[in-house]
C-alpha cells in the first residue's frame, strides 16, 4: 500500500512540472502596396482657345463692329465711329461708354453702347428776336436761359437764314445749339465768350461763318463743319 501511494505522488509531481506551450497562432499581414488606379478624363488633354470674337452693338442691337481673332488677355478696342442715339421728344442722348465695361479677353464677348440722358428744355419762342430781311429772317438775339437751344427753321412762315452779330454773345448757360438747315450765314462774334458751349450742330446749309464767331469758347474742343461752308 505504501508503494502505491509513492507511485501516485511521483506521477503528480511529474505532471505539475510541465510548462504550457508558448506557441501562439501565426498571423499573416497583408503588405499589398498596389496604388489605386488613376482615371483620366478624356477632356483633360484638350487645348484651350487662344483667340475670341468681340462684338460691339448699339442700343438698338445694331452691330457696329465685329473683331475676330482677338488674342486672350488683350484689352478689346472699338475702332468705329462714336455711337449715336437720336433725341426723342423728351430726352437728348450722349454716348457714355459700354455695357459691360470692357475687360481683358478670356472668351467671346458682346458690348452694348450706353448713353447719358438729358431732359430737353423747352425754348420759349418769345426769347428769340428776329428781323425781317425780305427773303427770310435773321436772328438778332436770344434772351432765354436754356442750356440747349434749337433755333427754329422758320419764323412767320419764312426761313431763318442768318444769325446777326452778337446774337448769342456771352451766354454762360449755353451748352448746345442746333442751327436750322435754312441758315446760310453766321455773323461776327455770334457765340463769342460762351464759356460753356460744347456742341454746335450746323445743319447742312451754312455757307458763311463770320470773323471770331466762336471766339473764346474754351469748352468747344472741336466742331464738324458741313460741306456747304464756303467762307470763314
Q: DSSP for 152-163?
A: -SEETTEEEEEE
Other CB atoms within 10 Å distance of the CB of residue 181: 14
Half-sphere exposure in the Cβ direction for 185 (13 Å, CA):
14
3-state DSSP of 36-88: CCCCCCHHHHCCCCCEEEEEEECCCCCEEEEEEEEECCCCCCCCCCCCCCCCC
Query: What residues pair up with 186 in beta bridges, in sequence order?
Result: 163, 209
Cell reading at 74: 488683350
Q: For all residues of the chain together, what is the average pLDDT?
A: 84
Does the reported pTM lie above 0.85? no
14-39: per-residue pLDDT in tens? 555 555 444 444 444 444 545 444 43
Burial class (CB in 10 A: 0-12, 13-18, 19+), 174: buried
Higher pLDDT, 197 or 118: 197
What pLDDT does residue 8 have? Answer: 59
Topology of the domain covering 121-231: 3.80.10
Where does the chain hold its CATH 2.60.40 domain(s)?
51-119
78-104: per-residue pLDDT in tens? 999 999 999 876 778 889 999 999 999
Looking at the structure, give the CATH architecture of the domain made up of residues 51-119: Sandwich (2.60)
Amino acid at each position: 500500500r505504501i508503494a502505491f501511494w509513492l507511485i501516485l505522488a511521483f506521477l503528480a509531481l511529474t505532471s505539475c512540472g510541465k510548462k504550457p506551450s508558448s506557441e501562439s497562432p501565426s498571423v499573416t499581414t497583408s503588405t499589398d502596396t498596389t496604388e489605386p488606379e488613376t482615371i483620366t478624363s478624356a477632356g483633360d488633354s484638350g487645348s484651350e482657345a487662344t483667340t475670341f470674337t468681340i462684338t460691339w452693338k448699339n442700343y438698338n442691337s445694331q452691330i457696329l463692329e465685329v473683331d475676330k481673332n482677338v488674342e486672350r488677355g488683350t484689352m478689346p478696342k472699338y475702332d468705329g465711329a462714336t455711337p449715336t442715339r437720336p433725341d426723342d421728344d423728351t430726352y437728348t442722348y450722349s454716348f457714355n461708354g459700354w455695357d459691360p465695361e470692357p475687360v481683358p479677353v478670356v472668351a467671346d464677348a458682346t458690348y452694348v453702347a450706353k448713353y447719358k440722358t438729358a431732359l430737353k428744355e423747352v425754348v420759349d419762342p418769345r426769347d428769340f428776336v428776329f428781323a425781317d430781311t425780305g427773303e427770310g429772317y435773321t436772328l438778332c438775339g436770344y434772351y432765354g436761359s436754356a442750356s440747349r437751344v434749337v433755333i427754329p427753321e422758320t419764323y412767320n412762315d419764312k426761313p431763318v437764314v442768318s444769325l446777326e452779330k452778337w446774337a448769342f454773345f456771352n451766354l454762360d448757360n449755353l451748352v448746345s445749339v442746333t442751327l436750322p438747315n435754312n441758315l446760310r450765314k453766321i455773323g461776327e462774334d455770334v457765340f463769342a465768350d460762351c464759356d460753356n458751349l460744347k456742341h454746335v450742330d450746323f445743319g447742312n446749309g451754312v455757307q458763311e461763318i463770320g470773323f471770331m464767331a466762336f471766339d473764346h469758347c474754351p469748352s468747344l474742343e472741336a466742331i464738324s463743319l458741313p460741306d456747304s461752308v464756303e467762307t470763314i
